[in-house]
Chains A and B, each alone.
Chain A
Amino acid sequence: MTPLIRDEDRPGHDRRGFLRAAGAFAATVLAPGVTLYAFGAPGDSAAAPGAPASSAKRWGMLIDVSKCGDGCVACVTACKEENGWGESGDPRTGAQWIRKVSIRDPKTGWSADLPLMCQHCADPPCAEVCPTGASFKRADGIVLVDKHICIGCRYCMMACPYKARSFVHEPIDDQKPNAPRGKGTVESCTLCVARVDAGLKPACVDACSAKAGGAMMFGDLNDPGSDIAKAVKAKASAAIRSDLGLDPGVRYQNL
């Protein structure tokens, strides 16, 4: 669905986009009559703080289930700490940006624990059903809720096959400056978007490598030189509910 908020409704959007494009276009006069034209920003593969999200990137996460400890909740704790959410005490209304899920094959008895959060789909059903354009996918693949225009209808929560989204039922204060949250809006994992824009990794990934088994890897799936791209190329990985064809940015190995 086309979002109802059009680009031209946003003040100065087009003009700035044009100026940015003009800035990315460089012409060098090598000699009289010989001009070298270059398009696009150089060094686009590095996370440049302050630069807008680029569609050249696809942020993704790879979770090695065999390294994820049973009962370990380091990632969940780190996410709560970073983004300032916590269970309300009532399981019907508590926020849940990331949770640990235990899976078991009843035939063989094989079992594993894995973290489950927003899978940052390439074709996110939440954005598809959103009536206001509040659910959207950024150019670099991060799926977000623009809480300024979210009306709290919760269609996206019903559309998400991973049950990754929560609704804020109670008034909140003392939010984290990097994670605004408020009553009446839907929220979910943001892939720690403020950290990613600053060139850092999500809090769960840092916590997993520092305090737990290092089961989580974060990086740019589009960059063939990145660790995550090499890892998914070297060994089979799976998307949860791959039958839906949503192409999630979060993938699992040894599942």
Chain B
Amino acid sequence: MARARKSLALAAIFVAALTPAFADEAPSPMPTPFIPRGKGDHCVRDNAFMRRYHMVMLKAQRDDTVHEGERGGDFSIKACVTCHAVNGSDGQPVGYSDPKHFCRSCHAYASVSIDCFECHSSKPSLKAKAAEAAPPPDDGDVAALNAYLREARP
């Protein structure tokens, strides 16, 4: 019992000694990805929706675009890399090979490899205009899409 008390005291001293070293760090020891801010006020949908469903929406729109020739949808990979472009030290947008690239920073963190940029350009088009303000996301719209996606992808 005495030994247990002694080790408890030692542990308390140890923690107290280490605390100042951690004082200015984030409270959670969990590392977080570096997520650069995109252009404009918000994405085409809210963040939670985009985090969960961006891959599904990209895939659905890619089929519509390639096979049906439907262009101008919200979920275009060109729009992703244009709004979320990150400039490198030379002031030019970086490509997927740079760890600062928007898609790469999160995908490397989550350890999910993507093939998109083996064919698609990971940089904005030179002619791409600055991101135009998208309409504000409508909660009812998002709920409907969520319901639709649950139904389409059980």
Contacts and interface: CB of A to CB of B under 8 A. Distances in A.
B24 interface: no
Interface string B19-48: 000000000000000000000000000000
Consensus secondary structure, chain B interface: helix
A87 interface: no
A111 interface: no
B121 A193 contact: no
Given A11-B60, A52-B70, A148-B66, A177 B119 contact: no
A49 B60 contact: no
A52 B128 CA distance: 23
A89 interface: no
Interface residues of A, number: 36
Given A11-B60, A177-B121, A52 B153 contact: no
Interface string B127-148: 0100000000000000000001
Interface string A143-167: 0101110000000000000000000
A197 B67 CA distance: 12
A146 B121 contact: no
Interface string A173-206: 1111110111101000000011001100000000
B69 A53 contact: yes
Interface residues of B, number: 29
Contact of B97 (A53, A136, A173): A173
Nearest to B63: A10
Contacts of B78: 177
A183 B117 CA distance: 11
Contacts of A148: 62, 66
Interface in A23-78: 49-53
B119 A181 contact: yes
A89 B120 CA distance: 23
Nearest to B119: A182
Contacts of A4: none
Nearest to A142: B69
The 6 A-B pairs with the shortest beta carbon distances in the complex, nearest first, are A53-B69, A182-B119, A50-B72, A180-B119, A177-B125, A11-B152
10 contacts: A11-B149, A51-B70, A52-B64, A53-B68, A172-B119, A173-B97, A174-B95, A174-B121, A180-B119, A198-B71
Interface of A: 10-13, 16, 49-53, 136, 138-140, 142, 144, 146-148, 171-178, 180-183, 185, 193-194, 197-198
